[in-house]
Amino acid sequence: MGLYTAAGDRITKAAFPAAAISDPEKKITADVYATRTFDTGTRPSDTRDGTPEGSIRTLLFKAGAVLRQSQIDALFPEATVTEISPATGPAAGGTVVTITGTNLDGVSDVKFGGTAGTNVMVLSAGRLQATTPAGAAGTVDVVVGDEAGAVTKSGAFTYA
């Protein structure tokens, strides 16, 4: 008995054909649930205003399950920003802007030209609101931050 390569060579413990990986396993310590909105359907009668009426919660991972770090990372996709509205406001700040994009439900901060916005409120996975801080007249980048990192929308807001 022993272990052998496909060519028939014996494998020793020291020469076992394996390499260290940089994707460690993690043991889940509590049940993890995922939520998603109900489908809006295709008929107007499916919802009153065309938006989902609630959400469905399902068990994603049971406590004790073992996942690779890359699998966990994939559960937290990076946000994207497609639009800032309104795109202009006074230099004194105080403009409530709506940011649209994807994966915005994990956003915890919004910066306008490097200064933190206030009253950040996630409305859905595709929309959030924030109030602009005071800033110098001109165009600034808008940066949203979440667990996956920071995403910059260059020149997205203009202080008048």
Q: What is the pLDDT of residues 99-114, one digit of tens each?
A: 999 999 889 999 999 9
With 70 as the cut, is the pLDDT of residue 132 above it?
A: yes
Q: How confident is the model at residue 33 (pLDDT cuts 50, 70, 90)?
A: confident
DSSP lists the bridge partners of residue 116 as 111
C-alpha span between 100 and 144 (Å, rounded): 11
Q: Look at residue 77 in the predicted model and tell me its pLDDT.
A: 86
Give the side-chain half-sphere CA count within 13 A for 151.
Answer: 20
Tokens of 69: 């770090």
Tokens of 119: 């009253």
Q: In this structure, are residues 77 and 107 in contact, taking their beta carbons and an 8 Å threshold?
A: no
Q: Look at residue 43 in the predicted model and tell me its pLDDT.
A: 52
Residue with the bigger pLDDT between 127 and 56: it is: 127
Look up the pTM and report it.
Answer: 0.70
Give burial (CB, 10 Å; 0-12/13-18/19+) of 119.
exposed
